Structure 1
Amino acid sequence: MTNKTDFKKTLDAYQAQRGRFRVVDVPDMSYLMIDGHGDPNTSPAFAEAVEALYPVAYKLKFASKRDLGRDYVVPPLEGLWWAEDMSAFTAARDKSQWDWTLMLMVPDWIDQAMFGAAVEQAGAKNRPARLDDVRLETLSEGRCVQTLHVGSFDDEADVLAHLHHAVIPDQGFRLAGTHHEIYLSDFRRVAPEKQRTILRQPVTTEPASGA
């Protein structure tokens, strides 16, 4: 019987507590990724991105179990979020201006050959519209500060403001890299006030360029 790895339980990068802002050194991790723009609540591209990621993720999981004897739980959906004017993200919450990359983590033993085979299998029947936009890529974040947010996505703004303007500078860091969210709850099934989301911000102690 194959043991099934649950990365939410085994990786320190997936550990966070509400009200605690923790510094964590995140290792390089491999992800299925797909990019998009616009309000995730209304943009067809967002739904199409989710529909493209999961078939590939499950084909990889089944291939890993069948061919390598290494089974695992498909990790939670994650997202990188930014905007040309970051006030559209942290203050004004103008979601129509948001850019994003949706991601599903895959184990480091998954290679490009397995990925290519999984994409081909996922497109054999009921081919997702954006399947060809899915890629396998390594994300290098390094040192980050993260916390657990419980509640709706629209209630994140105050937590992010505290993280960006108090917690990070008070610890001698500055923002570096892209805001990262990890959706521990399935937002399609869990009430907004009960949703659990890890909020992660890469940081650095290096001075800003030109400083």
Structure 2
Amino acid sequence: MTKKLDFRRAYKSEYTGKVGRWDDLVIPSMPYVMVDGQGDPGGPDFSKAIAALYSVAYGVKFKCKAAEQDFTVPPLEAQWMADDPTAFVRNDRAAWVWTAMIRLPKHVLPDMLEQVRETALGKLAKKKDPPTDADTLGRVYHGRLEEGRCLQTLHVGPYTNEAATLAHLYDELMPGQGLTFNGPHHEIYLSDARRVAPEKLKTILRQPVVPK
């Protein structure tokens, strides 16, 4: 029997951290199923995007399992962007632009994802009250992250309490180490917010960096 890929075990350093400590890591290139959007992550567009992502991710999983290349669907991730990076420190959610995503095995190529998405669209048409819609599924795509060197930490608590941690990174740690931004702020959601109390939520915070 082929061993199932578990990303959190196979790439442990990419899914772990310590509160109050920023680790300096080099993140390899990796493929994702992605969807882009803008605005408050508590809004309806983000919820529909998540439903679309999981629909496609599990479709890919079942296709891989049939080919004896099974994997455990990893945690939800997201990149967060804004014209003014202080929008995150100020918690100005209306200004946030995001890419929600789920990591994929290296062997999953765009054509497989497209096949799965078309199947998902067919199933969606038969549902009375679908959690997402055809337009959102149509925005799902196969993408790749090339982040390289990153600073990474573990945040425990509500997502809205991340601002102080990010302010410390942006205003003190990065300038103190002669570093600047090399890509969007990146989060990995280790906890299921539907089942875990806000004060116990665990989130990996990651920032790609380069020397100034």
TM-score in same-fold range (> 0.5): yes
Opposite residue 133 of structure 1, the aligned amino acid is: R
Can you list the C-alpha shifts for 1:104-124, whole angstroms capped at 9, x where unaligned?
000110012211111112122
> Which runs of 5 or more structure 2 residues have no equivalent in the other structure?
126-131
Opposite residue 55 of structure 2, the aligned amino acid is: P
- 1:87 deviates by 2.2
- 1:190 deviates by 1.1
The answer to whether the 8 A contact 1:81-1:101 is kept is: yes
Could you tell me the TM-score, scaled by structure 2's length?
0.91
The answer to whether the 8 A contact 1:145-1:168 is kept is: no
Q: Which residue of 1 aligns with 2:26?
A: 25
Opposite residue 15 of structure 2, the aligned amino acid is: Y
Q: Which residue of 2 aligns with 1:115?
A: 113
- 1:72 deviates by 1.0
Q: Which residue of 2 aligns with 1:184?
A: 190
- 1:55 deviates by 0.7
Q: Which residue of 1 aligns with 2:129?
A: none
Q: Which residue of 2 aligns with 1:164?
A: 170
Q: Which residue of 2 aligns with 1:71?
A: 70
Could you tell me the TM-score, scaled by structure 1's length?
0.92
Q: Which residue of 2 aligns with 1:14?
A: 15
Q: Does 1:38 align with 2:39?
A: yes
The answer to whether the 8 A contact 1:33-1:134 is kept is: yes
Corresponding residue SS for 1:53: helix
Give the Cα–Cα distance (whole angstroms) in 1 for the partners of residues 10 and 17 of structure 2: 13
Give the Cα–Cα distance (whole angstroms) in 2 for the partners of residues 86 and 141 of structure 1: 18
Q: Which residue of 1 aligns with 2:47?
A: 47
Give the Cα–Cα distance (whole angstroms) in 2 for the partners of residues 187 and 95 of structure 1: 18
Corresponding residue SS for 1:16: coil
The answer to whether the 8 A contact 1:150-1:195 is kept is: yes
- 1:2 deviates by 3.3
Give the Cα–Cα distance (whole angstroms) in 2 for the partners of residues 28 and 190 of structure 1: 31
- 1:183 deviates by 0.3
Give the Cα–Cα distance (whole angstroms) in 1 for the partners of residues 16 and 148 of structure 2: 15
Give the Cα–Cα distance (whole angstroms) in 1 for the partners of residues 10 and 121 of structure 2: 32
Corresponding residue SS for 2:186: strand
Corresponding residue SS for 2:162: helix
Give the Cα–Cα distance (whole angstroms) in 1 for the partners of residues 84 and 18 of structure 2: 29
Give the Cα–Cα distance (whole angstroms) in 2 for the partners of residues 15 and 88 of structure 1: 26
Corresponding residue SS for 1:63: helix
Can you list the C-alpha shifts for 1:56-100, whole angstroms capped at 9, x where unaligned?
000101111112x1111101000111222222211x211111111
Indicate which of 80, 92, 95 corresponds to 1:94. 92
- How much is the aligned-residue C-alpha RMSD, in angstroms? 1.3
Can you list the C-alpha shifts for 1:13-53, whole angstroms capped at 9, x where unaligned?
22322222100000011011101111111x21111101110
Corresponding residue SS for 2:37: strand
Opposite residue 81 of structure 2, the aligned amino acid is: W
Q: Which moved more, 1:163-172 or 1:117-126?
A: 163-172
Corresponding residue SS for 1:197: strand
